[in-house]
Structure 1
Amino acid sequence: MIDETHVTTEKFVQIYNATNAIFLGILKEIRELSKKKPDAIMSAGKVSLINKVLVDLKAILESEPEGKFLVTLDNENLPQTSDAVLIMCQYETALKSFKSKYYQSYKIDSYVKYAWVTIDFLKEYKD
């Protein structure tokens, strides 16, 4: 049964789908860097690249309860890799929450399917 109290937009789903894998790949790399040199200062180029992804993610997550904790990396005072990991882990947690809230299972006959719950999906689901 679909929980119709948790509905997102097609635009947010598109942003999630376009950025989630990229974000997770970047997070993995920054975690590795942080293990080797946690106090190393990140380059402006890396911060800029990461922030491009974080800005898109923040757009879909800022209205969620976790959204108030999300910030981008400081490109004036460049962060250490360990600080970047901490900030990015907050996004990782918020993304997991977003997916568990809006990507739901439902039954058709004896089959279980999964879908993003959007207004368009609900229209089709009810028909």
Structure 2
Amino acid sequence: MFNGLIAEMRELSKKKADATLSKGKVRILNRCLDDIRQILLDEPEAKFLDELDDDQLPQNSDAVLVMVQYETALSSYSKRYHSQAPGYYGHVWITEEIDAQVSEDERA
């Protein structure tokens, strides 16, 4: 969902960077951003994640700037918790269970 929204906002920003977003678009974007912020709440990047102001409607370029912060935070999150683990094929999300299993395998 987020990737589609940011791609659309980038296209809009290329065409009309200074055009103002409608309240409806801001609500749609904020719903997605709020869900992401909840996932990243305990991560170091969370302090940089703001929502779009629906009282002072942002311009397309402002929305893209805010969304790029989320994109960067998601990338950092993925790098931190998505990796190759011994005994697993390809990249996996490093959960507590997988981390414990890998630690046991390394001790054996």
TM surpasses 0.5: yes
Q: Which has the larger radius of gyration?
A: 2
Deviation (angstroms), 1:104: 1.1
> Residues of 2 paired with 1:81 and 1:119: CA distance?
40
Deviation (angstroms), 1:112: 4.8
> Which residue identity is paired with 2:36?
L
Q: 1:122 to 1:107 in 2, by over 3 A?
A: closer
| Alignment pair present for 1:41 and 2:27 | no
Deviation (angstroms), 1:24: 0.8
The count of aligned residue pairs is 104
TM-score, normalising length from structure 1?
0.75
Unaligned residue ranges in structure 1 (runs of 5+): 1-21
SS in 2 for 1:107: coil
Corresponding residue for residue 67 of structure 2 = 88
> Residues of 2 paired with 1:121 and 1:75: CA distance?
41
Corresponding residue for residue 41 of structure 2 = 62
TM-score, normalising length from structure 2?
0.88
| Alignment pair present for 1:99 and 2:71 | no
Deviation (angstroms), 1:64: 1.4
1:62 touches 1:70 (CA, 8 Å); kept in 2?
Answer: no
Q: Percent identity?
A: 48
SS in 1 for 2:86: strand
Deviation (angstroms), 1:86: 0.3
- More contact order relative to length (CA 8 Å, sep ≥ 6): 1
> Residues of 2 paired with 1:97 and 1:49: CA distance?
24
In structure 1, which of residues 118, 121, 125 is the aligned counterpart of residue 95 of structure 2? Answer: 118
> Which residue identity is paired with 1:72?
E
Deviation (angstroms), 1:30: 0.3
